[in-house]
Amino acid sequence: TYVIAEPCVDVIDKACIEECPVDCIYEGSRMLYIHPDECVDCGACEPVCPVEAIFYEDDLPEKWNDYTQANVDFFDELGSPGGASKVGATDHDPAFIKALPPQGE
Ligand code: F3S
Ligand code: F3S
């Protein structure tokens, strides 16, 4: 799967959403999250993110290791809805992300 990491926090450019053929990039309150089971590894989202927040899981910089789990935990309650557009923005951001100081500019 692909993983969204810290550069997305408070930026939420959403260019990635337009690229995903399976609509598996879901919106939280501080950042977006890729559903680890719904992502088909097409990779289309990765180059379009203006802040380079998206990585193939094996290429995720070590300092952002926690984001692999964050992209899993976001879906604890949501499960596998099979499409982000019908879900919309939800407040399931993991606690450590909710607790981050304001990011970006
Ligand atoms: Fe975030 Fe980049 Fe998408 S900032 S919303 S991962 S285009
Ligand atoms: Fe979608 Fe990106 Fe995965 S475009 S299928 S989330 S690699």
CATH of the domain at 34: 3.30.70.20
Q: What is the pLDDT of residue 21?
A: 98
87 belongs to a structural domain: no
58 belongs to a structural domain: yes
Q: Is 78 in the pocket of ligand 2 (CB under 6 A)?
A: no
Q: What is the pLDDT of residue 66?
A: 98
| Centroid of ligand 2 to alpha carbon of 77 (angstroms) | 21
Asked if ipTM goes beyond 0.90, one says yes
55 belongs to a structural domain: yes
- Is residue 6 within 8 Å of 64, Cβ to Cβ? yes
The two three-digit tokens of residue 58, written as one number: 């094996």
DSSP state of 82: S
96 belongs to a structural domain: no
Q: Is 54 in the pocket of ligand 1 (CB under 6 A)?
A: yes
Radius of gyration over alpha carbons of the chain, in Å?
12
89 belongs to a structural domain: no
CA angle, 105 then 102 then 100, to 5°? 140
Q: What is the pLDDT of residue 104?
A: 72
40 belongs to a structural domain: yes
Residue ranges making up the domain that contains 34? 2-79
Global model pTM greater than 0.90: yes
Total structural domains within the chain: 1
52 belongs to a structural domain: yes
The two three-digit tokens of residue 54, written as one number: 């998206």
7 belongs to a structural domain: yes
Q: Give, for all 105 residues of the chain, the pLDDT tens digit.
A: 999 999 999 999 999 999 999 999 999 999 999 999 999 999 999 999 999 999 999 999 999 999 999 999 999 999 999 999 999 999 999 999 999 999 976
Q: Is 2 in the pocket of ligand 2 (CB under 6 A)?
A: yes
